[in-house]
Amino acid sequence: MALKKNGFIPSSAPEELKKVLVAVASVWGDTIEDMEEFHVFPLKGAMTNEVFQINWPTNHGDLHQKVLVRVYGKGVEVFFNRDDEIRTFECMSELGQGPRLLGRFSDGRIEEFIHARTLSVADLRDPEISSLIAAKLREFNNLDMPGPKNVLLWERLRTWLSQAKRFCSPSTAKEFGLDGLEEEISILEKELTQGYQEIGFCHNDLQYGNIMMDEETRVITLIDYEYASYNPVAYDLANHFCEMAANYHSETPHILDYSIYPDLEERQRFISAYLASSGNEYSDAEVEQLLSDAEKYTLANHLFWGLWGIISGHVNKIDFNYLEYARQRFQQYWLTKPLLLSS
């Protein structure tokens, strides 16, 4: 237990965290005499890390300073390289795309608290907000990030499949059909990589909780880049559409409702706003092609988050029914595959 005032932070290095927080406060001219001055508020909806808002009184009257503390989830290093993720975070900050990195401790970091509202499930269905998200996603996909620009999706799926097999019992592996999944991944890769594909820097986890909006300026900020990498932009669109079936702040956050998956008109509107935001002319044919590609990439997305759910169920201690979530993603894969693939 690290700090206690309206809550606590379950860091494995509480003293180190305290020192970093005190150092951050001092940079802003605030002197912390008593750890009780830190007020801790857990933020819901995170499924890879645990996230907290920390407030403390400033030395300038009754104003309060805020930061965000992110404690890394246990075992999640199987999903991505944390050093690479930190570099991405710092690069995004330098590009003015996200919060600043204020400090690090052994099992987490302290980030700038963005004074904006985290979006809700309902916000994704608002046509105006949806268009703003589409434009921001296009801007994100066009970022020129350092390092290799190779598509990571297929390599990551195979790596996660290997990890899932390692963690699973024989009965669980049989239930999810893991022994036949290598072939499924190969089929998808062959089918989905035919023809031209636009490759961009993809967020890969664009759910409503990773989108913030300034209520006054209507500026959109995308946060949480753990899974970001170069991929086909159609995959990033597919991921966002699939996330519209989720409500991670309900009493059953692991339950997905595909009856509210965005309909054809909604998806066309989003993709049109996405293409229009670049300022270049686009055709109906381009919209339809990207729409078709995105729909096919929902299959890869179901396997991606299905495998994530299986692994998380064995390594992550956050209160979330990961295995049931994985079941739903695999069920949706097998249900929609015959409709989306030509062979």
Q: What is the pLDDT of residues 256-287, one digit of tens each?
A: 999 999 999 999 999 999 999 999 999 999 99
Distance CA 231, CA 154 (A): 9
Pairing of strands 229-232, 101-105: unpaired
Distance CA 35, CA 186 (A): 54
* pLDDT attached to residue 7: 53
Angle, CA of 287, 120 and 260, to the nearest 5°: 55
Q: Which helix (H) or strand (E) holds 209?
A: none
* pLDDT attached to residue 12: 61
* pLDDT attached to residue 309: 97
Calculated CA dihedral for residues 205, 308, 161, 84, nearest 10 degrees: 50
* pLDDT attached to residue 38: 85
Domain ranges within the chain, ordered by starting residue: 7-112, 117-342
The amino acid sitting at 113 is F
Pick 78 or 44 by higher pLDDT: 78
Calculated CA dihedral for residues 15, 19, 25, 30, nearest 10 degrees: 100
* Rg value, the chain, Cα: 21
| CB atoms near residue 16 (< 10 Å) | 17
The amino acid sitting at 315 is V
Distance CA 109, CA 339 (A): 44
Name the token pair of 28: 């802003």
| Highest CATH level, class, for 7-112 | alpha beta
8-state DSSP, 35 = G
Beta carbons of 111 and 20 less than 8 angstroms apart = no
Distance CA 151, CA 18 (A): 39
32-48 tens-digit pLDDT: 777 777 888 888 777 77
Which segments of 194-283 does DSSP mark as H helices, in order? 233-243, 264-276
Distance CA 311, CA 160 (A): 8
What's the predicted TM-score (pTM) here?
0.90
Give the lowest-confidence range in 55-64, 130-139, 320-329: 55-64
Averaged pLDDT for residues 52-67: 81
> Which fold is adopted by the domain 117-342?
Aminoglycoside 3'-phosphotransferase; Chain: A, domain 2 (3.90.1200)
63 band by pLDDT with thresholds 50, 70 and 90: low
Closest to 105 in 3D by CA, of 12, 214, 216, 232:
12
Averaged pLDDT for residues 134-162: 96
Distance CA 260, CA 236 (A): 19
